[in-house]
Structure 1
Amino acid sequence: MIEVATIIDAGTATVFDLELDVDVHADSLARSGETAATADGRRRLGPGDEVTFRASHFGVKWRMTSQVTAYDRPAHFVDEQTRGPFREMRHEHNFEDLGNGRTRMVDRMAIRAPGGPLGAIVTRLLLAPYLKRLLIRRATHIKRLAETAGRRDP
């Protein structure tokens, strides 16, 4: 299990909505050439929506489709891989209202790579640390956007 917690000086609804914005997702991981597309072209995901990500990681082009399988705005949502490189991938997004316009955002990701015992070793030594760095990069991007938006609000 990979876990990243971030304190953000913005309300839970603002942070929640940014996390479901596919353009924000792509911008946060621009270094890997990440793109995100929905079947209907909407830019903000909702319950049951699917999104397909394309990127280059470890010099390999990846494609993964995930579906929003749980949705409780603004407290929690889950997306799970339906097609892609992992045997399993489940990403929980939790948002705790800390009061005074502050949010604790917690990402929890569980992954299983194909390949049995060898896949488990690759996950532990390579994939999990790499994905944790990506989650931290994404959380930092969300924090910056949310806190900037909060300063513009009256």
Structure 2
Amino acid sequence: MANFEASVQLTATPEQVFEFLIDTENILKISPPDAGLTFTKKPDKLYKGATIEFRIQGFGQVQEGVHEITVFDEPKLFTEKQISGPLKHYIHEHEIVPSGDNLVTVIDRLEFQPPGGLLGFIVTESKLLDVFDEGFYHRHNKLKEIFS
């Protein structure tokens, strides 16, 4: 399994950031526009057991996926796991850690495995790491704008 981690410090309470991140409309606000993320089925807010069905643009193709929220510990942590999608394995942990007076650090941890078959020759671990790095750079800058 490959891993990726990125973090950002925000001026907010854990409750404010957690509430923002579990609102599925806000996910669209902080996602890179070139990712082409759209939801085909989603709840208004995430909760343990919730599923999100989506389409995303990647490597010249529109991919479909389904993620399930498998861990939900408000206002500290929630985890989404790929049920179906383009990667062999994908888990995204969102952790919110108090880091001072009205400061929090949002830590995004990914555990993933590239796709197999012919697609695996194009969508390699290093290419995915580059995509994740760019995507979370955008996401974290948007969060800084919102929580500044």
Query: Partners in 2 of 1:43 and 1:144 — Cα distance?
Result: 23
1:106 matched to 2:107: yes
The runs of at least 4 consecutive aligned structure 1 residues that moved more than 4 Å come to: none
Query: Given the alignment, which residue of 30, 33, 36 partners 2:36?
Result: 33
Residue correspondence of structure 1 range 61-80 to structure 2 within 5 A = 61-80=62-81
Matches within 5 A, 1:3-152: 3-29=5-31, 30-39=33-42, 42-115=43-116, 119=120, 122-147=123-148
The answer to whether the 8 A contact 1:79-1:90 is kept is yes
* Cα offset, 1:121, TM superposition: 8.5
- Structure number having the greater helix percentage: 1
Answer with 138-147 or 73-82: which moved more.
Answer: 138-147
Tell me which amino acid in the other structure corresponds to 1:66: H
In the alignment, is the contact (CA less than 8 A) between 2:54 and 2:65 conserved in 1? yes
The root-mean-square deviation of aligned C-alpha atoms, in Å, is 2.0
Q: Which 5+ residue runs of structure 2 have no aligned equivalent? A: none
Deviation of 1:112 (Å):
0.5
Partner SS for 1:114? coil
What is the TM-score with the length of structure 1 in the denominator?
Answer: 0.84
Sequence identity (%): 26
Give distance in 1, aligned partners of 2:40 and 2:66: 9
Count of residue correspondences = 144
Deviations 1:97-120 (A, max 9, x none): 12311101100001112227x938
Which deviations, in whole Å up to 9, do the C-alpha atoms of 1:80-108 show, x marking residues without a partner?
Answer: 00011011000011111123111011000
